[in-house]
Structure 1
Amino acid sequence: MSSLLAPRPSRRGGAAALALAALLAGCAGVPLHTPAPAPASSPTTTAPDAAGPGAPGAPLQRPRARWHPVDWSELPGWDGDRVLEAWSALSRSCERPGAGWAALCADVLLNAPADEAAARAWLQARLQPYRVESPEGGAEGLVTGYYEPLIEASRVPRAAFAVPLHRPPADLGARKPYWTRQQLDTLPAAAAGLRGREIAYVADPLDALVLQIQGSGRLRITEPDGRQRTVRLAFAGHNDQPYKSVGRWLIEQGALRADQASWPGIKAWARANPQRVQELLWSNPRVVFFREEPLPDPQLGPRGAQGVALTPGRSIAVDPQSIPYGTPVWLSSTEPLSAQALQRLVVAQDTGSAIVGAVRADFFWGWGEQAEQQAGRMKQPLRLWVLWPRGPQS
């Protein structure tokens, strides 16, 4: 994701990186998870190992960012984070190491630090911090939030569960673009392609919409025999129609102010205006189709664009033209609900169509109600520092 404003087309069957706040408001985009792009390369104008253990060295240039070497003392809150909690996220990225990371990743996977002090010492000995700036030198940016929806569903339609979620229609590739959302709802010829492609049914059409915006999610499904199980829905395609923000539509209609167009605000408007919900949904012509996947480990998030499972609170989505996948990042911002400092070690493992530019990130909150609340309101000032391998170690 990202945001409820624009789709995130780069996730590989994974969560979204959504900036729900932006997603709904209209200036960013909600990520829809389409196949991941190839991993980004290392910084190009200066060799990635140019910064040795002594002086920081020269800036490194990325296509959409400049990295300025700094001392560890510049990282706000560095001594206050439990950096060992990020080790599992770093280890998952090291299963798919990018350019410049092979040697260090072998050490990450074979030698887990014993405690906080050991983890911090390892990072400071082997990595060089760089302040992330725009090509023009700006160091201030924006962080939004995304999460993996968890929604109650039924395997068969019944009174309270009548909104279907679909696998890709068999003729999806034969028509470009495919039918719009409104056409699929109203034209018999369009609806015929979805017949028999139902995965499950949810109660609220806005729940179906948020799954499509996020590109994936979890369903707690009640089977016909009454048994319940939790599965994951992963992105499997879309109708090739443009994404339109429902939050932006409400603002343009004069129904909500920009500061009200959060996901909770949109849901409240829908409850108060049930006769206009269909009109709201049709304002976004894009429809996303899913595939069902098992959920063998409920503690793991969906796969991000890097191809590894996301870690709640320790994974972010970035612009891979600014920060390569798998890079440890020091993030400095504030929490959306409490305004407390949010300063911690995270790993760049995902991206989204709304996540563009140097100092831009989407923070993965996880799943469940609290994650939804945090992600839906997150639109905070941001500063970033990447941690990149030093030169050859002695």
Structure 2
Amino acid sequence: MQSQSTLSILALLLWLLAACKTETIPSAHIPAKPPASSSTSKLAPSAPIVPQVSPISPSTSQLKTTDWSQLKVWEQDMLLPAWTAFLQSCNALNKQLLWRETCKKASMIKQPTDNTIKHFFKHHFIPHQVLNLDGSAEGLITGYYEPLLKGSRTPSQQYRYPLYAQPDELLVIELADVYPELKNLQLRGRLEGRKVVPYYTRAEIENEPTSLKGRELLWVNDQVELFFLQIQGSGRIMLENGEILRVGYADQNGHPYQSIGKLLVQRGELPLENASMQGIKQWGQQNPDKLTKLLHQNSRYIFFRELPNNLSGPIGALGVPLTAGRSLAVDSRAIPQGAPVFLSTTWPNSNKPLNRLMVAQDAGSAIKGGVRADFFWGFGPEAASQAGKMKQKGKMWVLLPKNYSSQLQAKK
């Protein structure tokens, strides 16, 4: 009996490892794990967000120690917005020994200016250029945003596409205690008799939704907008009475993400230059009979939770609210969550330089690699436009406290 259970887990592990491949476009962003109490009521706002972040030891081979002379243009940036975002990070980072003292000193600056912020970073931090595993210094920078959808608490002919809360039967299996080398991976599945099997795919959920009956949070009026809400990972829903609710990522079904834009390009149905969010939406309007089948090609499915409305932004992987234009989703194996990151890229769909001090506060299933990031543009039509167009080349430097940097050097 024990050997059969072990084989079931190993079979699911092999399936997961086969599914975990690097993507090149953004997928759902993964905030801190929801408090356990948030699943007890699927309609009530969840409990206050509690940052849940563990110390991250980035790969030393992907961080090259440098000096401030290599970041001359960073002083041309307006630093106060990034400083505010960094202080948000400290709400989580002050629980880590390597950050605690630095965050304490940052909190003591009561009236920060660009000059005092520059002095603080130069005095307490060391810049490290981020590299890819092959040693290259340039990578892909994409964008994401917080969308607004129209919805209802009750289903109708107009509002017929449900947002589901995390299902009770969804299993999340941690294998780190048995396989320490798999500490960054989790298994997701469900029980079928006495076997652990993969959870339902997007197509299975939407074609046979009985397994999720009673887990509906809300219903929205647009199938494509709901699909992109799942890719963004969080958003807002405007009810018929004008009330606006916030929803955020709760969990996912464990299946690999498949880019539908890439599929349309491969099939010759969309030119590469139009493979943006806006281009895909337009294709869907022109091909309604093909739309559902296309969306089902992405087997990954996101479950949501309702968030408090008083948050300043959606919650990222660090467990703190994101800041429009200053928060980045990164690969935490290369860049520690919460760290300031100087980003050198260009504005969406242009060659105009975009040099900005950002803060690593989020992660995403498609954000894999050293020089790879997703730029959070915020909320509203302009943010949606910029995020949909952004697919730029860029370079990054992560700023780490001096004591953190000394620990990295000791590992080399």
Give me the TM-score of the superposition, normalised by structure 1. Answer: 0.79
Structural mapping, 1:202-213, within 5 Å: 202-213=220-231
Matched with 1:158 is 156
User: What secondary structure, in the 3-state scheme, does the structure 2 residue paired with 1:308 have?
Assistant: coil
Distance 1:230-1:102 versus aligned 2 partners, 3 A rule: same
Out of 301, 304, 307, the position equivalent to 2:316 is 304
In the aligned structure 1, how far is the partner of 2:135 from the partner of 2:291? 44
Is contact 1:64-1:321 (8 Å) kept?
A: no
Give runs of ≥4 in structure 1 deviating > 6 Å. Answer: none
Q: Aligned in 2, Cα 1:345/1:276: closer, same or farther, shift over 3 Å?
A: same
1:68 to 65, 70, 74: 65
The CA distance in 1 between the partners of 2:204 and 2:97, in whole Å, is 46
Q: Which amino acid aligns with 1:91?
A: L
Where do 1:168-317 residues align within 5 Å? 168-172=166-170, 173-175=190-192, 176-186=197-207, 190-222=208-240, 227-297=241-311, 300-317=312-329
Equivalences for 1:51-62 in 2 at 5 Å? 62=59
SS of equivalent residue, structure 1 residue 160 = coil
2:391 corresponds, among 376, 379, 384, to 379
Structure 2 unaligned residues grouped into runs of 5+: 1-21, 35-49, 171-189, 405-412
**1:49-198 correspondence runs (5 A):** 62-63=59-60, 65-70=62-67, 72-97=68-93, 98-172=96-170, 173-175=190-192, 176-186=197-207, 190-198=208-216
1:156 to 1:377, Cα distance in 2 relative to 1, 3 A: same
Q: Distance in 2 between matches of 1:253 and 1:391?
A: 52
Distance in 2 (alpha carbons) for counterparts of 1:180 and 1:134:
32
Aligned equivalent of 2:31: 11
Distance change >3 Å, CA 171–CA 68, structure 1 → 2 = closer
Letter in 2 for 1:11: P
Structure-1 separation of matches of 2:112 and 2:403: 25
2-side partners of 1:306 and 1:341: how far apart?
28
Structure 1, unpaired ranges of 5+: 15-34, 44-61
Are the aligned partners of 1:219 and 1:231 in contact in 2 as well (CA < 8 Å)? yes
For 1:266-298, what per-residue CA distance to the aligned partner results, in whole angstroms no more than 9, with x for missing partners? Answer: 00101111111111122222222212122113x
Contact 2:137 2:395 in 1 (8 A): yes
Q: Give identity over the alignment, percent.
A: 40
The letter for the 1-side match of 2:64 is W
Q: CA deviation at 1:3?
A: 7.5
Q: CA deviation at 1:142?
A: 1.7
Secondary structure of the residue aligned to 2:98 is: coil
Distance (Å, rounded) in 2 between the aligned partners of 1:344 and 1:372: 20
Q: Tell me the distance in 2 between the aligned counterparts of 1:151 and 1:4.
A: 26
- CA-based RMSD of the aligned residues comes to 2.6
Structure 1 residues 253 and 337: alpha-carbon distance in aligned structure 2, compared to 1, 3 A threshold: closer
Aligned 8 A contact 1:314 1:347 in 2: yes
Residue 258 of structure 2 aligns to a residue in which SS?
coil
- Alpha-carbon distance, 1:337 to partner: 4.3
In 2 relative to 1, CA 233–361 (structure 1 residues): closer, same or farther, beyond 3 Å?
A: same
Report the number of matched residues.
343
